């Protein structure tokens, strides 16, 4: 009898461990629906003012559930603006300086959010262009531009139509930044509905020519809500103690070609651009989140390099070989001639530093460009979690 009791106790203990593990099942993913969608990179440049060709982004989101879902979405404008000439949009990542800024000026990184509501009915797919936004089709007079299909002018807005949906175009053109959408209820309080999935298509094109026509797509990163955990306030807790949503990953892993490596199929030169955003975002106080980022790089000989980026804040696009060099990429550890092999694996980690209260984790997406050819986007791999939480502060009290 005693041995039977011991056995039952052991089973109970193991069951509790397994149960605890099951409770931790939810994790950020780009192939599952979630309650928060993060599109780390949205770009618009319809006039080709940045010299990268005409660019626009298609956002596609759908509701995977049989019930209506309401989203509060945030455009995060990460455009830089020239110091002393704030009307000029510039790129703070250009080195030594963006030539669009006056001679006595420099580019100041920016970060500003604009939010809006989108109402999705059961299983409904919707889409919009970042450059134009979208309105209910009942209010649209341009059938060529995506709009929200459900609802007529004689109806009142309800969860079963799209009349409450109105997506503003990104506030500046050119634009670079992030889009974040959060499932909320009809009172705009966070809702535990893991029903949102999405994709972004970044489109390069030309007016009256096809020289730069190129499309790359990636899945939005979905952060699932932990059902029964939400206290419905304006502070969303991602991972850690008191988690309301799954935590962000401890490490991001990127497999890539080293910059300027020759494509083994076409012999074109390849470059990789990495875009990172922090998991913690203060949309209420508009306080930028800053942290150092550590990069640990392995080539195909198992040889290890590392570098870091100190000034990460809010949003950053990196060409890999400009992470550790500013002027001469042939000295970068991400340059194929330095690494010695065509491909590498890079592990990316936000450093928590002395702030032990926040996870300081990152999300991102990678893009691969072939000189004279096209481009492709792909998801980063993720590993592990952190004991600290990340926080999203929503701009309502």
- The nearer residue to other proteins, 287 or 300, going by C-beta atoms, is 300
Which residues in 55-84 contact other proteins (CB under 8 A)?
A: 56-58, 60-64
Told to check if 99 binds other proteins by CB under 8 A, we report no
Specify the residue, 214 or 281, whose C-beta has the smaller distance to other proteins: 214
CA distances from 183 to 43, 44, 103, 153 (A): 23, 25, 45, 26
Other CB atoms closer than 10 Å to residue 117's CB: what's the count? 15
Q: Which is nearer to other proteins, 128 or 312 (CB)?
A: 128
Q: Distance (Å, rounded) from C-alpha 101 to C-alpha 96?
A: 12
222, 379 contact by CB (below 8 A): no
Q: What gap in Å lies between CA 108 and CA 82, rounded to an integer?
A: 6
Q: How many CB atoms lie within 10 A of CB 325?
A: 17
Q: Is 271 in the site for other proteins (CB under 8 A)?
A: no
Closest approach, Cβ 270 to other proteins, in A, equals 9
Q: How far apart are CA 344 and CA 297, in angstroms?
A: 7
Stretch that binds other proteins, among 49-57, 168-176, 183-191, 277-285 (CB under 8 A): 49-57
Residue 273 near other proteins by CB under 8 A: no
For residue 133, count other CB atoms closer than 10 A to its CB: 18
Whose Cβ is closer to other proteins: residue 77's or residue 250's? Answer: 250
**How far is 368 from 203, CA to CA, in rounded Å?**
14
* Nearer to other proteins among residue 185 and residue 368 (C-beta): 368
Q: Which stretch binds other proteins (CB under 8 A): 82-90, 144-152, 170-178, 229-237?
A: 144-152
Query: Does the protein bind other proteins through residue 32 (CB under 8 A)?
Result: yes
User: Using CB under 8 A, which of 85, 108, 117, 122 touches other proteins?
Assistant: 122
Q: Between residue 218 and residue 257, which ones bind other proteins under the rule CB under 8 A?
A: 218-219, 250-251, 253, 255
Site map 351..370 versus other proteins, x via CB under 8 A:
-x---------------x-x
Residue 52 makes contact with other proteins by CB under 8 A: no
Among 48, 93, 112, 205, contact with other proteins (rule: CB under 8 A): 205
With respect to other proteins, which residue has the nearer C-beta, 234 or 375? 375
Told to check if 140 binds other proteins by CB under 8 A, we report no
Residues 316-335 within binding reach of other proteins (CB under 8 A): 330, 335
3-state secondary structure (DSSP) of residue 100: coil
For residue 108, the tally of other CB atoms under 10 A from its CB is 14
- Write out the two tokens for 38: 């993060």
94 sits near other proteins (criterion: CB under 8 A): no
Say whether residue 300 binds other proteins (CB under 8 A).
yes
**Mask of contacts with other proteins, 154-193, x by CB under 8 A?**
----------------------------------------
Which residues, in sequence order, are bridge partners of residue 54?
205
Could you give the CA distance from residue 75 to residue 125 in angstroms, rounded to a whole number? 20
C-beta of residue 391 within 8 angstroms of C-beta of residue 289: no
- DSSP, res 277: E
Q: Considering the complex, what minimum distance in angstroms separates the CB of residue 26 from other proteins? A: 10
3-state secondary structure 218-244: EECEEECECCCCCCCCCEEEECCCCCC
């Amino acid at each position: 009898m005693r041995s039977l009791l011991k056995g039952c106790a052991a089973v109970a203990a193991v069951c509790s461990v397994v149960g605890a593990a099951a409770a931790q099942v939810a994790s950020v993913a780009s192939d599952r629906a979630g309650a928060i969608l993060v599109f780390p990179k949205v770009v618009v440049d319809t006039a080709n003012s940045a010299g990268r060709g005409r660019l626009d982004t298609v956002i596609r989101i759908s509701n995977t559930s049989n019930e209506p879902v309401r989203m509060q979405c945030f455009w995060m404008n990460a455009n830089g603006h020239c110091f002393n000439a704030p009307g000029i949009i510039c790129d703070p990542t250009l080195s030594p300086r963006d030539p669009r800024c006056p001679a006595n000026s420099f580019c100041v990184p920016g970060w500003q959010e604009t939010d809006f509501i989108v109402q999705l009915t059961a299983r409904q797919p919707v889409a919009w262009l970042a450059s134009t936004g979208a309105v209910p089709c009942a209010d649209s007079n341009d059938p060529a531009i995506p709009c929200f299909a459900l609802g007529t002018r004689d109806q009142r807005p309800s969860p079963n139509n799209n009349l409450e949906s109105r997506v503003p175009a990104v506030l500046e053109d050119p634009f670079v930044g992030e889009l974040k959408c959060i499932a909320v209820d009809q009172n705009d309080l966070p809702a535990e509905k893991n029903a949102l999935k999405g994709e972004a298509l970044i489109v390069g094109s030309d007016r009256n020519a096809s020289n730069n026509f190129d499309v790359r797509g990636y899945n939005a990163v979905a952060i699932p809500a932990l059902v029964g955990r939400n206290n419905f306030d304006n502070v969303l807790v991602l991972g850690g103690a008191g988690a309301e949503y799954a935590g962000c990953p401890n490490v991001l892993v990127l497999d890539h070609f080293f910059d300027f490596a020759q494509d083994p199929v076409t012999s074109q030169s390849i470059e990789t651009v990495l875009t990172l955003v922090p998991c913690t975002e203060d949309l209420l106080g508009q306080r930028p989140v800053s942290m150092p980022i550590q990069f640990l790089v392995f080539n195909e000989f198992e040889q290890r390099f590392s570098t870091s980026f100190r000034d990460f804040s809010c949003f950053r696009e990196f060409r890999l070989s400009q992470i550790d060099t500013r002027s001469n990429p042939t000295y970068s550890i991400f340059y194929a001639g330095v690494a010695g092999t065509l491909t590498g694996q890079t592990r990316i980690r936000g450093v928590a530093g002395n702030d032990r209260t926040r996870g300081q984790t990152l999300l991102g997406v990678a893009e691969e460009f072939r000189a004279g050819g096209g481009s492709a986007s792909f998801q980063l791999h993720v590993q592990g979690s952190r004991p600290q939480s990340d926080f999203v502060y929503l701009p309502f009290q």
